[in-house]
Structure 1
Amino acid sequence: MLRIIDARTGEPVDAAPARRGLTRIEAHTEGFDVTALRVLLVADLLVRALELGGTPVWALLDEERRRAELRAGAAALGIRPFEEGRDAAAGLGEAQVLHVVREGGAEPDGVRVAVAAVHSEAPPEEADPAALRLALLSGRRSVPVRLDAAVLAEAHDTLVRWRRAVAGWARQPSRPIPDEVRAQLRTAWEDDLDVPGVLGVLRRVASAPDLADGARFETYAYADRLLGLDLAHDLGTPA
């Protein structure tokens, strides 16, 4: 069960209702900048994590300004579209509502998932979108992110390395994900959406000496359902 820290109280709450009723996720971006995109990315991760746990989710963008820029930026980062208009929520009967907000920003009623600011020293529009997504995923959402050329280059190199590895592992017979590895992944992302913990599991899996390549492939493919990094991008390319 995904547990998330409520910024109002500092205490963890269940992100999904006990009976798997609908969870509504509202993203409050307050304009358009890289921090707004990080807010949308965290909301996207919440949607993905809840869906992996079998919870129906409705994602809503609560923003009146610069919607076109937000949607274009989100699409480039592989963030799935959000619907608009809270009035449409009436009568849906959702059992849980999560508000994803920037730290120190809007304070809507209900559970608030706070996202720390992004301080960018490099034009994010010039970065590879997948590398930018990975850079934004590499820190806990409560910790400010500093983007510069070195951070984006490191994320790009990691992404290239992992995609090549996944393509190579895919050439071997498939093997099931070890139970302990699956448990480590779920424990990480269900603990207040600890994505850096998920990335740490992937790093260990890549170098584990006793793991079959087919199991490495399945592990990365499974984790990518949360991460959205298109890790299978290089499948079918020449070795």
Structure 2
Amino acid sequence: MLRIVDELAGPGPLRVCAHAPADGDAGTGLRVLLIADVLARVVELRGRAVLLGWTGPAYSAATTGLRPADAEGDPESIAESLGGPPGVHLTSGTYERATTACLRVGEAELPPLDGLDPLAVRMLLLGHPYEEPVVATADGIDEAAGTLSRWRRAVAHGAAHPSKPIPADLKATARTALESRLDTAAVLRLLGDLETAPEVPEGAKFETFSYLDRVLGLELVREVGTV
């Protein structure tokens, strides 16, 4: 089976275009942009630059951990701004104009987000395979927020210990999951198991959480130096 990042390998920057639905489906639109953000992070972890374009409604990048778009507008203006046509499109439906790779992202139904932690929303969405639909609840988002808080305290605790290398098997497992199918849900499960693994030194836990957060974008190192 050809892995996602292998299919997108090539010279120069990878141009990505995320098509948020224009019908007011804010949850699905946010999820499309989130998966584009994750794809960009995984490709950049492999050493290739990424240029990102968005079509459809704009979303707040700052509050949800999304990287800002390099270009916004219609596909033609995005291709002109990015210096060439996108090498991959992300959409919640069928994008008939795609002549290159296209990832279809499942719909996401979100509750009203007022008063909820946007990075907990990000974590909840990342806990599901990107192609499957998600129905999120306020209770589920609150539970994700609790996990985030606990992990940040654990990372801050680990930062106070001598640094140790990331266990090779954990790194290989996480990279395979991400590079094969953007399986952030598997990475989150790996971190959940790692949190309580007595055989892994605290310094290695810190390095693993920090490294994988480069893709997850959950600000897991936020509390380092505060405990």
TM-score in terms of structure 2 length: 0.89
Q: 5+ residue gaps in structure 1?
A: 5-11
Match of 2:48 among 45, 52, 55: 55
Query: Equivalents in 2 of 1:15, 1:182: separation in Å?
Result: 21
> 1:1-239 alignment to 2 at 5 Å?
3-4=3-4, 14-17=7-10, 20-31=11-22, 32=24, 33-63=26-56, 66-67=57-58, 70=59, 72=60, 74-82=61-69, 83-85=71-73, 86-87=76-77, 89-90=79-80, 92=83, 97-102=87-92, 104-109=93-98, 110-120=100-110, 122-238=111-227
Cα displacement (A) at 1:100? 0.5
What's the RMSD between the two structures over aligned residues?
A: 2.0
Q: Which has the higher strand share?
A: 1
Query: Equivalents in 2 of 1:97, 1:124: separation in Å?
Result: 33
Cα displacement (A) at 1:156? 0.8
TM-score in terms of structure 1 length: 0.85
Q: 5+ residue gaps in structure 2?
A: none
Query: Equivalents in 2 of 1:153, 1:174: separation in Å?
Result: 32
Alignment length (residue pairs):
219
Alpha-carbon contact 1:22-1:93 (below 8 Å) kept: no
Write out per-residue CA displacement over residues 20-68 of structure 1, whole angstroms, 9 at most, x where no aligned residue.
43211001002341110000000000110000001121101123xx43x
Cα displacement (A) at 1:142? 1.0
Query: Equivalents in 2 of 1:106, 1:43: separation in Å?
Result: 15
Query: Equivalents in 2 of 1:88, 1:227: separation in Å?
Result: 26
Cα displacement (A) at 1:84? 2.1
